[in-house]
Amino acid sequence: MAHAARVLWPRGRALAWRLGCSPTLGFPAQSRAGFAGGAGGSGPAATARKGGPRLLGAAALALGGALGLYHTARWHLRAQDLSAERSAVQLSLSSRLQLTLYQYKTCPFCSKVRAFLDFHALPYQVVEVNPVRRAEIKFSSYRKVPIVLAQEGESLQQLNDSSVIISALKTYLVSGQPLEDIITYYPPMKAVNDQGKEVTEFCNKYWLMLDEKEAQRMYGGKEARTEEMKWRQWADDWLVHLISPNVYRTPAEALASFDYIVKEGNFGAVEGAMAKYMGAAAMYIISKRLKSRHHLRDDVREDLYEAANKWVAAVGKDRPFMGGQKPNLADLAVYGVLRVMEGLEAFDDMMRHTRIQPWYLRVEKAIAEAPQ
């Protein structure tokens, strides 16, 4: 029942919190008119009659303003205390985990997970998997990367799928539930894709399994939560499929991409040489098929530019990140996917021809400044 309650939480009613403040004291309109239109005449007595009420009004306004400032400052200090308490709790929780990430460095799904771990200052070890032999993950029946092994005390849990990894670990940091309980909320499910191939999908993978108070504290409202989920899924279902057609767009770009992959990846000398030339040729051909499969334009850059500008428009001009003053899981997902193109022609073109660069640099800075 506990599991069902958390899965069904999105159907529940969100709490609405409102903070009201009235820092100044006012006067009725007729009283203000009386101050302005007092008895005529000049001299000290008349001046005193007119000046006295004005002085009282000014004093009342000043007192009200001071009280307002006091309560505002007190509220901000309390908010800072609560934020510090939550940070301390998260630090305590994160210190209980020993994480090992099995990855290909140039994989956009792996990059998403690294962006999340780095932003949340979760220490982890990296095992670079050989993409040919994949001996490093022979312990796992799940043969894709990323995979995260999470040691929590005596309990060792395996987390599969980038979005499940992120959702499960964020749920852990916010709720403090045991990780072995959390992963039961994301059961694997076998399915057959459009190509007739059996694939493994995971239920609830964009949900954080929080109770109402935890969700209210994190999101403030259902709209923010729904928005984050929508764009996390968009990053997986659309944005990531624009990467290969763009980085393998031409033979020269394909060769440059594989030169980068070989340098950053876990290849032997012979494997590296074969991957660089044979892989580049193969992926150049495959990228054309991917372009057709995903109904991309002849110039795939146009799809990349459109996606980048669509994301910037969704973030909007009134907030630095989709998460408001700090990146949320959607910000980190989009950043992680795009980051794998850094240093390649497609990335430079995107930065020149779209409006995404300011947002991208803000996320990059936020991750770099995360406490280590």
Q: Mean pLDDT of residues grouped by 10 in the chain (372 residues)?
A: 39 28 31 32 38 45 44 42 44 76 96 98 95 93 96 93 98 95 95 85 96 95 97 98 96 91 79 78 90 94 98 98 97 98 97 98 96 70
Q: Are strands 147-152 and 124-128 parallel, antiparallel or unpaired?
A: unpaired
Q: Which CATH number fits domain 83-369: 3.20.20.70, 3.30.70.100, 3.30.200.210, 1.20.1050.10?
A: 1.20.1050.10
CA distance 96 to 249: 44
pLDDT of residue 92: 58
Catalytic annotation, pick one of 35, 70, 102, 104: 104
Q: Is 92 helix (H, G, I), strand (E, B) or coil?
A: helix
CA distance 148 to 127: 10
Active site residue 21: no
What are the domain boundaries of the chain? Answer: 83-369
pLDDT of residue 372: 63
Q: Are 209 and 368 in contact (CB under 8 A)?
A: no
pLDDT of residue 81: 43
Catalytic annotation, pick one of 109, 172, 202, 248: 109
Catalytic annotation, pick one of 27, 70, 102, 107: 107
Catalytic annotation, pick one of 110, 119, 172, 186: 110
Cβ within 8 Å of residue 128, ≥6 positions away: 103, 104, 105, 136, 265, 266
Q: Are 161 and 205 in contact (CB under 8 A)?
A: yes
The count of C-alpha atoms lying within 13 angstroms of the C-alpha of 90, restricted to the half-sphere facing its C-beta, is 19
CA distance 216 to 145: 33
